């Protein structure tokens, strides 16, 4: 299972939100490159970068930060947040993104997102399935989690699998930044109902012990944010996990 730390960016700075609420912003480092280099130093190879300004603006904003990290580290970066047009994708890939994540666009303009899958291939395009839990399993949210759609989580994922999607980042918004543990039951259900999906768990990771459990379930990757920044999971623990995997 791939370990994928998260760097969320507002005004060029490394921040975290709670449940996607911009009013809860906490700045952890004014220089995201420094943070990325710390991750790389312990053997981490992957990075999840979210342009929170871009998510709000519905277009790429913090591509200079992406460019800086990509040019000064060897990290393989997946980049998301407000990517809505072919021009946004061009900027992201030209700035060094290895993959891009599309969430709102996959809901609101499926024809564009499907074209991206065809044009760039399943290795380059990740489906962002951010959801609010409900009795049916979950409803997809859009626009930096500020809007909820009527789309059910698992049919949404399966529909895009039929269009060629392989990678899915699935975030339980109710758990994001809460440090209360991930949605094991939801991930288990997705894995049982979505054959050959490369599921990347996100939201709520709070202790190191959760990582082997997610790996055992069959998650392809896990995104870790606040648990690292609040020192609930140490970089040394992640280094050991990578060495022993």
- How many C-alpha atoms does 167 have within 13 Å on its Cβ side? 21
Number of domains present in the structure of the chain: 1
CA distances from 219 to 68, 146, 200, 241 (A): 30, 27, 6, 15
For 157, the domain range is 2-244
Residue 6 confidence (pLDDT): 98
Nearest alpha-carbon partner for 191 in 222, 212, 220: 220
Q: What is the DSSP string of 75-130?
A: -EEEEESS--SHHHHHHHHHTT-SEEEESHHHHH-HHHHHHHHHHH-TTTEEEEEE
CA distances from 203 to 41, 50, 122, 123, 239 (A): 24, 14, 23, 23, 21
**Which residues have a catalytic role annotated?**
8, 130
What residues contact 154, with CB distance under 8 A and at least 6 apart? 137, 138, 189, 190, 193, 194
Which residue ranges in the chain fall short of pLDDT 70? 135-136, 143-147
Residue 137 confidence (pLDDT): 72
Residue 169 confidence (pLDDT): 98
Residue 135 confidence (pLDDT): 62
Q: What is the DSSP string of 213-228?
A: HHHHHT-SEEEE-HHH
211: phi then psi, degrees, rounded to nearest 5: -65, -50
Residue 144 confidence (pLDDT): 56
CA distances from 9 to 30, 113, 129, 175, 240 (A): 10, 23, 20, 19, 27
Q: How far apart are CA 154 and CA 205, in angstroms?
A: 21
- The tokens for 221 are 């990757």
Which strand (E) or helix (H) includes residue 10? Answer: strand 2-10
Residue 97 confidence (pLDDT): 98
CATH number at residue 67: 3.20.20.70
């Amino acid at each position: 299972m791939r370990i994928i730390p998260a760097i969320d960016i507002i005004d060029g700075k490394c921040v975290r939100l709670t449940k996607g609420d911009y009013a809860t912003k906490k700045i952890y480092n004014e220089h995201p490159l420094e943070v990325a280099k710390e991750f790389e130093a312990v053997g981490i190879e992957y990075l999840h970068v979210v342009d929170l300004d871009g998510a709000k603006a519905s277009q790429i904003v913090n591509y200079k930060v992406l460019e800086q990290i990509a040019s000064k580290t060897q990290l393989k970066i997946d980049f998301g947040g407000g990517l809505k047009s072919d021009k946004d994708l061009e900027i992201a890939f030209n700035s060094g993104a290895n993959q891009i994540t599309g969430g709102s666009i996959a809901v609101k303009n499926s024809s564009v997102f499907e074209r991206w899958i065809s044009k760039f291939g399943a290795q380059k395009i990740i489906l962002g399935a951010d959801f609010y839990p409900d009795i049916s399993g979950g409803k997809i949210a859009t626009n930096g989690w500020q809007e909820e759609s009527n789309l059910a989580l698992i049919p949404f994922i399966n529909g895009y699998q039929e269009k060629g999607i392989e990678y899915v980042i699935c975030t339980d918004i109710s758990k994001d930044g809460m440090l209360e543990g991930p949605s094991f039951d939801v991930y288990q259900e997705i894995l049982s109902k979505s054959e050959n999906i490369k599921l990347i768990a996100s939201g709520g990771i709070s202790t190191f012990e959760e990582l082997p459990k997610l790996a055992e379930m069959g998650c392809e990757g896990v995104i870790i944010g606040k648990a690292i920044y609040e020192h609930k999971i140490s970089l040394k623990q992640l280094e050991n996990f990578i060495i022993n995997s």
